[in-house]
Amino acid sequence: MNMKLQDRYDYIEPGDPKHEALYERMLKKEEMSEYYTGVTTTGIACRFGCSAAPPQKDNTVFSKRLFDLITFGFRECKVCRPLTYGTERDEVETFAELILKADHPEKYLKQVSPGDTSYRAAKRWFEQKHDGDLQKYMYVKRVNHLLKSENNQDSEYTNIITYQRYWTPIGVLIACFYEGECCLLEFMDRRALETELLFLKRKLNAHFKKRAGGVSRQLGKELKEYFTGERQTFTVPVASIGTAFQLQAWDALKEIPYGTTRSYKGQAEHLGRPTAVRAVANANGKNRICILIPCHRVIGDNGDLRGYAGGLDRKQFLLELEKSKGLQ
């Protein structure tokens, strides 16, 4: 199993054996570059040892990466400035500040060329400092802004799409629910996530609200069981929105057994459309409900991993997880 990927993500909540020791060190204002702190009551992400008043223990979580706290919906602390702390280069500081201030930080990528020294320096610095991709950080910030603005204002839409985020061993997932069914499940750092959310908003004539419910709690429980190898099938109701062909392709994905794979060609033949391999691949790429509709189980004819929007390292992890548990 891809332990390097799994080791990257660490979300330590109250009750975790490591939480007590980390909280005590935080109270002492110790400097620890290995962890960042999230305050659940305020939604603030801090550098470990922030000079602000410490939160209550039950309201504190820890993570190895600032990036992951941001994907979980936290925002950067203005006191300890976790994004730019320790940065001395002016071009990096300036670029990072633009990211923090902008409602749509991705626009700054369009204002600089790939050869721009300030962007190249910021990208390289972000990878070294925060073990992540600067561009994905911008995508996540943009999605967070969209959801926050929708959640905090009244809307002309009467329909509501509720959403919840879930921590997993390979990154944060976001799920959307409409009328008791899951209509989206994606990794928060997927590039097309904002486009998908706006599609649902337009198609369902609805606005987004962060709200827990029976189905969202059920999904959280089933995802936890899936990642610990205790669950092979899901019972959460899903509602896919797509063309007739896309719906057929997605239904075919649900028929691929846990612990097995199928080629794109095999999926096309299963649909009775043996020449529609490319159309099948495109339909799989438009699937908005990952894991529950297991597009990760489709591979190349020669066994190569191909075309997973969540990242090939995650696809490999999911396949290895299912293969190892399916043999038990």
Which residues does the annotation mark as catalytic? 295
Per the listing, tokens 């061993």 go with: 169
Contact, 73 vs 166, CB < 8 A? no
C-alpha to C-alpha distance for 133 and 91, rounded to whole angstroms? 18
Backbone angles phi, psi at 171, to 5 degrees: 125, 170
| 108 Cβ neighbours under 8 A, 6+ residues apart | 95, 98, 99, 102, 138
Cβ(326)–Cβ(259) below 8 Å: yes
Contact 158, 213 (CB under 8 A): no
Q: In angstroms, rounded to a whole number, what is the distance separating the alpha carbons of residues 266 and 248?
A: 14
